[in-house]
Structure 1
Amino acid sequence: MIRDTSAQDSLRSPLDIRRRTRRRWLILAAAGLAFVLALAWLVSGWSTGGRSVDASRLRIATVTRGDLVRDLSAEARVITANSPTLYAIAGGTVRLDVVAGDAVSAGQTLASIDSPELRSRLVQEESTLASLEGESRRAGLDARLARFEARKLLDQARVEQTAAQRDLERMQRAFDLGALPRNDLDRARDNLRKAEIGVAAARESHELQLQGTKIDAENKRLLAIRQKAVVDELQRQVDALALRAPFDGQVGQVQVAQGANVAIHAPILSVVDLSEFEVEVRVPESFARDLAIGIPAEVRGNAAMYTASVAAVSPEVVNGEVTARLRFDEGEQPPGLRQNQRLSARIVLDRRDDILRIERGPFLEQGGGRYAWVVEGSSAVRRPIQLGVAGLDAVEVISGLEAGDRVVISGADRFDNADRVRITGD
């Protein structure tokens, strides 16, 4: 026989039906409340921003007040402040007395050049000088003789004038007594006049002789002085054939071989002054306009910091860089420096005291630094700002921010230029 469903049926009372209905209404109410809460959460998200970013992906910094140092760091190379190269004063054969790296003292002979041509010229010019000096002395003697002869003629003319004067006086007394005719008196007067003219001519001749002999002697003397200068210059060149150390230091690069025949003005060797070094740095072209002589700098070497200043700035740009030279302050040069040694340098371009500052970050490049996202509660709000000078680790805030404001300095590229962004997480 086939069973029916009568065994599965059960009798329900009205109280059970009411309970079941109440339970259904409670479930529906709970589901409605959950829907309303979800809708409220969505509306709250839409009201606080169009986007939502996790806080762990952002870097937030606080605006503070303090000092800002605008500087730049660069790799530096030690160079010698004084490293002259010695050149050949004349062509000849080189004899080297030192090798590269030798320590030398001031005045020590480093190399010598054998130049027969220059030494022969010196001997010739010395002979010419001796001849001119002899002529100068002879001209002085001739001048004395000429002055003596002129003086003798002047004295003779004066004696003749005196004799003519006495004759005239004697004739005048005789004429007054009637013992002498007038013709003899007039002849005596003419003789006195003639003697006076002779004295005047002798005096003029004496003065002209003095001037002429003085000019001749002076010309001879000047020729001898000129020749003496030529001999002194050749003697200097001959002395310079021995290349001497200009100061205490070390031989740098030797550019010729022992016994080589070199031409005039050929480089022979260089001498390095180990007591004074400078630091050469290469600065990006964008910082070139801010560099000036005297700007303070710091050089790190041998695990210590030493103060320096900008001593020179190259006027040209090479491969987008400008070369500057730093000079250590007095007493600040590190011990044990070597040429071409690598150091790190820091140049202080500007210093601002007690200003608003914010840590540097990618937000400076985003939008050209004209705006930033300021954290307000659980949201980041875009706000226009104005920034000033920038240092290595911070940038000056001119307007738009206040001390204590929290600013998103990294990760703002995820905001997609939204005016308000919700920040989730811690």
Structure 2
Amino acid sequence: MDTIINRKSKKNKYLLLVIPAFLLLGYFVYSALTKKRSLTVEKGEITIKTVEKEYFEDFIVFQAKVEPLNSMLLNVIEGGAIQEIFVENGDLIEKGQPLARLYNPNTELSYVTQETSIIEQINNLSKAKLDLRNQELSMAKDLVAIDHDYQDAKNQYDLHEKLYNEEIISKNEWEKTQENFRFQKERKSIIQQTIQKEKQANQIQISQISQSQAIMYKSLGILRKNKNNFLVTAPLAGRLTSFEPVLGKNYNTGDNIGKIDVMKGYKLVAEVDEYYLPRISQNQKGRIEHKGSVIDVVVSKVIPEIIKGRFTVELNFMTDKELTLQQGLSFSVRLILSEKEKTLVLSKGRFYEDTSGKWIFVVNGNSAERRKIELGRENPLYYEVLGGLKKGEKVVTSGYTDYKDVEILNFEN
């Protein structure tokens, strides 16, 4: 009798081969994904610093230049072409000293025309005032004649009154004398009232004319003074700087052709990065070094206008001693932003450029492992450590350009 032999399934055989291979592949993939990426570096190529607890002083350092405490811009008052130059850049000048002369024929002609017109108007007003004076004089003469006629009539009235009472003259002649006296009396009264009113009206007109003349004389004075604006003079004494006018070159009204520095006192002027604008204010103190001595300075003005990422700060010297300084001299200013306080600090390094202070390599024996950190304030020497590091830990502070995707650094001596 035949025996039935069962044949192994090829399918089961394949499964026995595929499953171990799949598991092995999965192991390698898992290991590759979970294994921390490392890199071996020469220990001499990196910089290692220790996290310390030190007094942290929030300050910044920037360069500032010496400038005179007070200066005045020299602007062209009346536009024109430079005709003459009397001084040179850098000269010490006195108040009122001529510096340059400009010429503008069109403006000169306009001044002459305006001056002629004003003088003509003044003359017309003077004539009108003279006419009113003559009118008053004529009325005064008329009043004298009328008063003479009145006196004659009155004398005749007094005489005829006596003669009539003595019956020497007739009634008809007496009545004529009375009528003439009445007429001269009323005539004198009316003329006196008229002259008084005319005189009052004339006085008002003369006063108005005088006011108009005063305004015109003032305008004429300003006009003649403006003609002198072609001559640029020094408004105050000092040193002339940035003065570079060119003969024949045209300058418009308001154009700047130089600056006068008052040689009494100095200040420091600095251009500071806009990052520090919210942290700098008036009365903040700082210091500089000059000839081996430390000199205190104080912020006197903050100009918040940002130009090309920088704003302007002015500082005054806090000393009664007269300093021998030179305009343009540069000083390194250490400006204090907060008082000293003891805190955890980390020395500055190039690592910040690649990590923005969010992580760092912490040394552990012959390797360093990547760790998240939190940094706060900074000064030119230190970063303030807010979290992620402890006192005494060592960290790599050199550049991380080649280590951005690495989690462990292995050191090789």
* TM-score, normalized by the shorter chain, greater than 0.5: yes
Report SS of the residue matched to 1:336.
coil
What's the offset of the Cα at 1:279? Answer: 1.6
Q: CA contact under 8 A between 1:95 and 1:111: conserved in structure 2?
A: yes
Contact 1:301 1:344 in 2 (8 A): no
Give distance in 2, aligned partners of 1:228 and 1:330. Answer: 52
Distance in 2 (CA, whole Å) between partners of 1:201 and 1:344 is 93
- The Cα shift of 1:77 comes to 2.8
What SS does the aligned partner of 1:312 have? strand
Separation of aligned partners in 1, 2:296 and 2:324: 14
Cα gap change, 1:412/1:162 in structure 2, threshold over 3 Å: closer, same or farther?
Answer: farther
Residues 410 and 156 (structure 1), Cα distance of their counterparts in 2 relative to 1, 3 Å cut: farther
Matching residue of 1:42: none
In the TM superposition, residue 147 of structure 1 has moved relative to its aligned partner by: 1.8
Candidates 313, 319, 324, aligned match of 1:335: 324
- Judge which range, 75-84 or 179-188, deviates more: 179-188
**Residue range with higher mean Cα deviation, 143-152 or 257-266:** 257-266
- Identify the residue that residue 74 of structure 1 maps to in structure 2: 62
1:114 equivalent in structure 2: 103
CA contact (8 A) 2:269 2:312 kept: yes
* Deviation of 1:82 (Å): 0.7
Aligned length: 318
Q: 1:232 to 1:302 in 2, by over 3 A?
A: farther
Q: Please give the alpha-carbon distance, in whole angstroms, between the structure 2 residues aligned to 1:243 and 1:57.
A: 64
Match of 2:79? Answer: 90
8 Å contact kept, 1:136–1:217: no
1:258–1:93: structure 2 CA closer, same or farther, 3 Å change rule?
Answer: closer
Distance in 2, Cα, partners of 1:362 & 1:283: 24
Deviations 1:23-42 (A, max 9, x none): xxxxxxxxxxxxxxxxxxxx
Return closer, same or farther for 1:118/1:138 CA change in 2, 3 Å cut-off.
Answer: same
2:345 aligned residue (352, 361, 364): 361
Check the 8 A contact 1:281/1:345 in 2, yes or no: no
Letter in 1 for 2:67: I
* AA of the residue aligned to 2:393: G
8 A contact 1:109–1:245 mirrored in 2: yes
Determine whether 1:411 maps to 2:399: no
TM-score by length of 2: 0.60
Match of residue 195, structure 2, among 192, 203, 206:
206
- Cα distance in structure 2, aligned partners of 1:108 and 1:150: 57
**Counterpart in 1 of 2:332?**
344
CA distance in 2, matches of 1:192, 1:332: 97
Residue in structure 2 matched with residue 21 of structure 1 by the alignment: none
Q: Is the 8 A contact 1:175 1:182 kept in 2?
A: yes
Cα contact 1:94–1:114 (8 A) shared by 2: yes
Q: 1:199 to 1:293 in 2, by over 3 A?
A: farther
**Partner residue, 2:12:** none
Equivalent of residue 306 in structure 1, options 277, 284, 295: 295
Gap regions ≥5 residues in structure 2: 1-47, 348-376, 384-388, 397-413
2:79 counterpart SS class: coil
Q: For 1:210 and 1:218, locate their aligned partners in 2 and report how far apart those are by CA, in whole Å.
A: 12
Deviation at 1:335, TM superposition (A): 1.6
Identity %: 14
Amino acid at match of 1:158: D
Distance in structure 1 (CA, Å) of the matches to 2:250 and 2:49 = 73
- In 1, Cα distance between the equivalents of 2:177 and 2:66? 102
- Cα-Cα RMSD: 4.4
> Any unmatched runs of 5+ in structure 1?
1-55, 364-388, 396-406, 415-426
Match 1:145 to one of 104, 118, 134: 134
1:192 has 2:176 as partner: no
Residue 312 of structure 2 corresponds to residue 323 of structure 1: yes
Does 1:238 pair with 2:227?
A: yes
Q: CA offset at residue 314 of structure 1?
A: 1.7
Q: Aligned in 2, Cα 1:186/1:293: closer, same or farther, shift over 3 Å?
A: farther
**What is the distance in 2 between the residues matched to 1:311 and 1:247?**
24
1:128-185 CA-to-partner distances (Å, cap 9, x unmatched) read 4554454454444433322222112223333333333334444444454555666655
Matched residue, 1:422: none
